[in-house]
Amino acid sequence: MKILYAIQGTGNGHVTRAREIVPLLKKDHEVDILISGIQADVELPFEVNYRFHGLSFIFGKKGNVDIPETYKKSRLRQLVRDIKSLPVNKYDLVINDFEPVSAWACYFAGKSCVSVSHQAAVINKKSPKSPKIDPLGKAILRSYAPAISQYGFHFQQYDKNIFTPVIRKEVRRKKPVNKGHYTVYLPSYDDGRIVKVLSMIPNVEWQVFSKHNKEPFRKDNIWIRPINNDEFIESMVTADGVFCGAGFETPAEALFLKKKLMVIPMKGQYEQQCNAAALKDLGVPVIKSLKKKHISKISEWVSDGKIIPVNYPDKTAEILADIIEKESAMEFHKSLLGIKKIDFRPIRNNYFFKKIERVTSRMF
């Protein structure tokens, strides 16, 4: 089978998951790789067939998404040209990890797009949701990369098409030890804010991995380091605890490694707010922002934080085989029925989606 595997390049989680999934797909199938986005710091160790600018959300420095910078770096006309040029019909199956170019190319071609992502789990009705009402954030999450079939990864198996996290072998094969330091990854905060707050907890070594600084430096008990995949894994494996944003892969790996975990969800980011709700249900401490008023909570976590038990077995190959079998059977039935184009109407259920469709259709 010829498969297009499309990866979202905003942040490192999607790329990290792809490093595990792609080699498994390539064992039995011909696989082309597509990546779009400009925020990832982790490299892919295999050939990429399509690289697009895509549509990336730019991290701010105050715990938020930088909306002006996101708009400034968006290239909407180029995005539409890329959608139009992508030959999705040459593939038997398009697997999409929250990637917009391939998803919208499939939409306009009337071709099935299979979402295999964390976001597919977040939007599932049975998954935990943020108590804060955010209709726009919810609509964006549903419309950013439309797909007919949804298979998701989450902190727990909340529904039949939701699976526990893909833990990369680089982490799974490690033997965790505790050298007493704390690993920090808060990409939506600048180094100055992180140093200012964490320096108020002096008897702790903080190893901070920075998205905003390319040169390492030390400030008292804080070590600021540029992001490096191997160094980050080693820091996390040997840490006492992990302090990070409420993304998915890093918290999941910290839980798997039996590390204390504390998270801060990004402001204005619905997915992270939902992740925070799920982690809070598990017993993970969540704080709203990196401010002085939360110092007591951070100090309490350092001194008395608990390890949250989880069970994340290595079933990625089995999950992928099951997904491909189901989707292949679906494609076979459609061919028997003479169905050449998919009706996407069931997923066109919100104003935001209709607006994108209307604007994009004019540009086509």
CATH code, domain with 148: 3.40.50
Whether pLDDT at 350 is above 90: no
Q: Within this chain, do residues 266 and 334 fall inside the same structural domain, yes or no? A: no
Whether pLDDT at 334 is above 80: no
Whether pLDDT at 346 is above 80: no
Determine which of 112-116, 201-205, 251-255, 346-350 has the lowest per-residue pLDDT on average.
346-350
* C-alpha span between 137 and 134 (Å, rounded): 5
Q: Within this chain, do residues 45 and 108 fall inside the same structural domain, yes or no? A: yes
Whether pLDDT at 69 is above 80: no
Mean pLDDT of 61-83: 72
Q: Within this chain, do residues 151 and 8 fall inside the same structural domain, yes or no? A: yes
Distances (CA, A) of 214 to 41, 175, 211: 11, 29, 8
Mean pLDDT of 317-339: 80
Q: Give residue 55's pLDDT band: very low, low, confident or very high (50, 70, 90).
A: confident
Asked whether residue 107 is domain-assigned, the answer is yes
Q: Within this chain, do residues 11 and 152 fall inside the same structural domain, yes or no? A: yes
Asked whether residue 148 is domain-assigned, the answer is yes
Mean pLDDT of 232-253: 97
Residue 67 CB neighbours (<10 A):
12
pLDDT of the residue at 68: 63
Asked whether residue 332 is domain-assigned, the answer is yes
Mean pLDDT of 338-360: 54
Asked whether residue 47 is domain-assigned, the answer is yes
**Number of domains forming the structure of the chain:** 2
Residue that finishes a domain, picked among 304, 328, 344: 304
Mean pLDDT of 194-221: 91
Whether pLDDT at 355 is above 60: no
The residue ranking higher by pLDDT, 150 or 349, is 150
pLDDT of the residue at 10: 79
Asked whether residue 310 is domain-assigned, the answer is no
Q: Within this chain, do residues 242 and 132 fall inside the same structural domain, yes or no? A: no
Q: Within this chain, do residues 90 and 185 fall inside the same structural domain, yes or no? A: no
Asked whether residue 309 is domain-assigned, the answer is no
Residue that finishes a domain, picked among 269, 304, 339: 304
CB 156 within 8 A of CB 127: no
Residue that finishes a domain, picked among 304, 329, 355: 304
Residue 184, domain extent = 169-304
Q: Within this chain, do residues 273 and 135 fall inside the same structural domain, yes or no? A: no
CB 21 within 8 A of CB 317: no
Calculate the average pLDDT of the chain: 88
Q: Within this chain, do residues 89 and 17 fall inside the same structural domain, yes or no? A: yes
Q: Give residue 132's pLDDT band: very low, low, confident or very high (50, 70, 90).
A: confident
